[in-house]
Amino acid sequence: MLGVIRGLLRSKKTKNLRGNMIPKRGNNQFYKGKGCLKTGWITRKGVYRSFSNLDKMLDYQVPDLTGFNLKPYVSHQTPLAPKLDESGAPPAS
């Protein structure tokens, strides 16, 4: 019983009370980013320099979409789908 109480108290000590680390909480060197690779850097003079090594640049592989029947957007005239209940069936009127 005592071990359970110690475990609960120990977990309370290690919990981060301030939440996730965000750039507003860090110093001026902290940069979290948006989950993508950097394509260059900013020099001390404020000039953006891109990588000269093109292997570090992103290369998007786009599939060939010729003959593809679907369109990327939905028309505003499309009727709304009926709302479903928890079982996935339309509600009884």
Through-space distance between the first and last CA atoms of the chain, rounded to whole angstroms: 55
Cα–Cα distance for residue pair 39/57, rounded to 1 Å: 6
pLDDT at residue 10, rounded to an integer: 67
Helix ranges, 1-93 (H): 2-14
The structural domains of the chain, with segments of one domain joined by +, span 30-54
pLDDT at residue 8, rounded to an integer: 66
pLDDT tens-digit series, residues 54-92: 777 777 888 898 888 887 788 889 888 878 877 878 777
Mean pLDDT throughout 2-7?
Answer: 73
pLDDT higher for 50 or 18? 50
- 8 A C-beta contact, residue 57 and residue 39: yes
Query: Residue 84's Cα: distance from chain center in Å?
Result: 29
